[in-house]
Structure 1
Amino acid sequence: MVTSQASAALSRVELRHLRYFLALAEELHFGRAAQRLAMSQPPLSVALQQLESAVGARLLDRDSKGVRLTPAGESFRASAQALLGRFEDACAQAREVQAGEVGRLRLGFVGSTVFHGLPGWLTAFQTSHPRVEVVVIELNSQDQIQALLQEELDLALLHTDRLPPALACEPLYDEPFLACLPASHPAARKRRIALSSLSDQPFILFSRRGSPDYHARIVEMCRQQGFYPRLQHEGRHWLSVVSLVARGFGVSIVPAAFQDAGIQGAVFRPLAETMERSRVFAAWRQDSAAALRQAFLSECLVTPERR
Structure 2
Amino acid sequence: MPPETPLDLRRLRQFVAVTEASSLASAAATLFVSQQALSTAMRQLETDLDVALFDRSGRRMRLTAAGDELYQGARPLLAGAEQLAEQVRATAIGSEHAFVVGHSPAISGEEVFDLITRTHSEHPGASITARQMFPGDMRTQLFDGTIDLGVRRGVQTPSDLAAAVIDYHRVRIAVAADHPLADRSEVSIADLADFEIVVWSPPHHSYYTDFLVSLCRRSGFEPRLVVNPIQGTPPMTAVIGSLRCAFVTDPAGPGLSGRVAVVDFDAPPLAPVQALWLPHTASAVRDAILNGPDRTLSPGL
TM-score (norm 2): 0.58
Asked if 2 retains the 8 angstrom alpha-carbon contact of 1:172 and 1:306, the reply is no
Aligned to 2:275: 282
Aligned to 2:110: 115
Where does the alignment leave 5 or more consecutive residues of structure 1 unmatched?
A: 1-92
Aligned to 2:261: 267
**CA–CA distance in structure 1, aligned partners of residues 90 and 297 of structure 2:** 28
Is 1:154 matched up with 2:148? yes
**CA–CA distance in structure 2, aligned partners of residues 127 and 262 of structure 1:** 35
Asked if 1 retains the 8 angstrom alpha-carbon contact of 2:202 and 2:227, the reply is no
Q: CA RMSD in A?
A: 3.6
Asked if 1 retains the 8 angstrom alpha-carbon contact of 2:200 and 2:209, the reply is yes
Is 1:302 matched up with 2:296? no
Letter in 1 for 2:128: V
- Given candidates 232, 238, 246, the residue that maps to 2:240 is 246
> What does residue range 151-230 of structure 1 map to in structure 2 within 5 Å?
151-208=145-202, 212-230=206-224
Letter in 1 for 2:282: A
Question: Closer, same or farther in 2 for the Cα pair 1:183/1:256, shift >3 Å?
Answer: same
Summarize deviations over 1:103-125 as a string: whole Å, max 9, x none: 23122124534223616835954
Displacement after TM superposition at 1:284 (Å): 0.3
**CA–CA distance in structure 1, aligned partners of residues 264 and 194 of structure 2:** 19
**CA–CA distance in structure 1, aligned partners of residues 119 and 294 of structure 2:** 11
Summarize deviations over 1:87-133 as a string: whole Å, max 9, x none: xxxxxx959959xx942312212453422361683595498353x43
When Rg is computed on C-alpha atoms for both structures, the one with the higher figure is 1
Question: Closer, same or farther in 2 for the Cα pair 1:287/1:211, shift >3 Å?
Answer: farther
Of Structure 1 and Structure 2, the greater helix share is in: 1
Identity level (%): 17
- Given candidates 247, 255, 271, the residue that maps to 2:249 is 255
Asked if 1 retains the 8 angstrom alpha-carbon contact of 2:170 and 2:297, the reply is no
Asked if 2 retains the 8 angstrom alpha-carbon contact of 1:193 and 1:269, the reply is yes
Summarize deviations over 1:155-176 as a string: whole Å, max 9, x none: 1121112121111122221122
Question: Closer, same or farther in 2 for the Cα pair 1:302/1:95, shift >3 Å?
Answer: farther
Aligned to 1:49: none
Summarize deviations over 1:235-289 as a string: whole Å, max 9, x none: 57574531121222511222245868645411111113x3531111221011223
Asked if 1 retains the 8 angstrom alpha-carbon contact of 2:200 and 2:228, the reply is yes
Aligned to 1:65: none
**CA–CA distance in structure 2, aligned partners of residues 260 and 148 of structure 1:** 36
Displacement after TM superposition at 1:183 (Å): 0.9
- Report how many residues are paired: 209
Aligned to 1:142: 136
Where does the alignment leave 5 or more consecutive residues of structure 2 unmatched?
A: 1-86
**CA–CA distance in structure 2, aligned partners of residues 210 and 229 of structure 1:** 14
**CA–CA distance in structure 1, aligned partners of residues 183 and 253 of structure 2:** 15
Letter in 2 for 1:287: H
Question: Closer, same or farther in 2 for the Cα pair 1:116/1:136, shift >3 Å?
Answer: closer
Letter in 1 for 2:293: V
Summarize deviations over 1:34-73 as a string: whole Å, max 9, x none: xxxxxxxxxxxxxxxxxxxxxxxxxxxxxxxxxxxxxxxx
Aligned to 1:128: 123
Asked if 1 retains the 8 angstrom alpha-carbon contact of 2:254 and 2:262, the reply is no
SS of the aligned residue for 2:186 comes to coil
TM-score (norm 1): 0.57
Deviates more, 1:247-256 or 1:237-246: 237-246
